[in-house]
Amino acid sequence: MANIFPYSQVSKNEITMVGSRTFEEFVEEVRRFHSYPAPGVVLGGFMVEKAKTYMPEGVLYNAIAETFSCLADAIQLLTPCTIGNGWLKIIHLGHFALSLCDKSTGEGVRISIDYNRLARYSEIKSWFFKLKPKNEQNEDKLMEEIREAGSWILRTSAVSVNTNDLVLAKKKGVILCPSCGEAYPIEYGPSCMGCQGKGPYVRWSR
Amino acid sequence: MANIFPYSQVSKNEITMVGSRTFEEFVEEVRRFHSYPAPGVVLGGFMVEKAKTYMPEGVLYNAIAETFSCLADAIQLLTPCTIGNGWLKIIHLGHFALSLCDKSTGEGVRISIDYNRLARYSEIKSWFFKLKPKNEQNEDKLMEEIREAGSWILRTSAVSVNTNDLVLAKKKGVILCPSCGEAYPIEYGPSCMGCQGKGPYVRWSR
């Protein structure tokens, strides 16, 4: 039995790519941006690159991350979509899944995990399903499994979104809050969201 | 009258810095990450760097952006805080403001705009308050004003947040949704958020 992983993408001697980057280059990029080479961002890299293969050349697309952790950073590193330019939306469902959708048609592709195929990758499986405490994870083995499993453990679905949901609402104007003096979008009501009690601060010395 | 902007940071012959980067380097970095050199991200760079000066060396901090546009990307480019690692939170109040807060104490600094000082910068003022349509903006003049105004048009306040709000909730476990088969955090209820109608897709071919 020459290869117990007949479906695996790579042998140890091959170079694994994440799109146009080598696996090692991408891990380094994740380390710089995300502050540590989180397995979720690294696996997310394969997910983003798989999704990109379904977007025809020249098509402008938006991205949706279905969890607020990890995947958003893979999207921001590997596509033009960022949280700040509004082309990346996080709709937190707690799913380890993402989609890319054509801006003009709403048609797109959703990438998630093929749980059946995780059976071959014990460390990915136990990380993904939180089967053991973090300090018992074998991080090197996890990363090596992700490198080897790559896009083979991914599942692809066709999805479409309402294109209206991809467009950022146009602000109607900006006024100063009569209560605190802070500028805010006029459509938010007679006072700003901070004065409506939505702010994060417990103390604020102006 | 040698200088009609007595408070401005720079003369035309000086090099403007955004932290350790030159203004031009930062603009180029914004162009690469955000896809275009948005004035909000560039001005955001001065805001982030100003906030960082209040964080003592070695202190670990989280960031809050009070708008989902622009500022988040300045934070992600200039601090270790990203949306994917959870150290950046977006609490959308529609305010052009951000804060950095010490992870362990919750104490921090909030940076916003000093509207009075905008009087000297007509193009920033009309961009900020949306006083004219986008196609009538003078983008070169706007960018030059931002370069010149820099951190002089910023306002600083001491804030503090509840440190519990800075911690990501620990997931209790991951199970498969009995309805759709998708993995989701057990604490979300008897079915996943997608099956609870929270998903973004109008069509989904599994």
> pLDDT for B59-113, tens place per residue?
999 999 999 889 999 999 999 999 999 999 999 899 999 999 999 999 999 999 9
Whether this model's ipTM surpasses 0.95 comes out as no
Angle at A110 between CA A66 and CA A72, to 5 degrees: 40
Say what the pTM is. Answer: 0.90
Does the pLDDT of residue B15 top 60, yes or no?
yes
Q: Using an 8 Å Cβ cutoff, are B50 and B153 in contact?
A: no
pLDDT for B39: 97
Separation of CA B141 from chain center: 23
pLDDT category at A24 given cuts 50, 70, 90 is very high
Q: For the residues of B107-129, what is the DSSP string, one character each?
A: EEEEEEE-GGGGGG-HHHHHHHT
User: Higher pLDDT residue, A14 or B175?
Assistant: B175
Q: Using an 8 Å Cβ cutoff, are B161 and A200 in contact?
A: yes
* Mean pLDDT, residues A178-191: 91
Q: CB–CB of A199 and B93 under 8 A? A: yes
User: Higher pLDDT residue, A62 or B12?
Assistant: A62
Check residue B55 and report its DSSP letter. Answer: S
Does the pLDDT of residue B13 top 80, yes or no?
no
In chain A, residues 173-192 whose CB comes closer than 8 Å to chain B: 173-174, 176, 182-185, 188, 192
Residues of A in Cβ contact (< 8 Å) with B134: none
Min Cα–Cα distance to chain A from B181, Å = 10
pLDDT for B4: 42
Angle at B88 between CA B175 and CA A18, to 5 degrees: 65
Strand partners, B153: none
pLDDT category at B171 given cuts 50, 70, 90 is confident
Q: CB–CB of A130 and B89 under 8 A? A: no
Task: Nearest by CB to A35, from B85, B97, B174: name it.
Answer: B85
Residues of A in Cβ contact (< 8 Å) with B38: 84-85
**Spatial separation of the C-alpha atoms in residues B61 and B80, rounded to whole Å:** 9
**Spatial separation of the C-alpha atoms in residues A126 and A142, rounded to whole Å:** 9
Tokens of A140: 């090197």
Q: Which of B107, B74, B106, B102 is nearest to B90 (CA)?
A: B74
Instruction: Point out the least confidently predicted range of A149-163, B50-64, B170-184.
Output: B170-184
Q: Which residue of A has its CA nearest to B31?
A: A80
Min Cα–Cα distance to chain B from A13, Å = 31
pLDDT for A172: 78
Does the pLDDT of residue A2 top 90, yes or no?
no
Highest mean pLDDT out of A38-42, A65-69, B65-69, B188-192: A38-42
Min Cα–Cα distance to chain A from B65, Å = 10
**Spatial separation of the C-alpha atoms in residues A57 and A82, rounded to whole Å:** 19
Strand, coil or helix: what is A166? helix
Q: Which residue of B has its CA nearest to A95?
A: B184
* pLDDT tens digit sequence for A121-164: 999 999 999 999 889 999 999 999 999 999 999 999 999 999 88
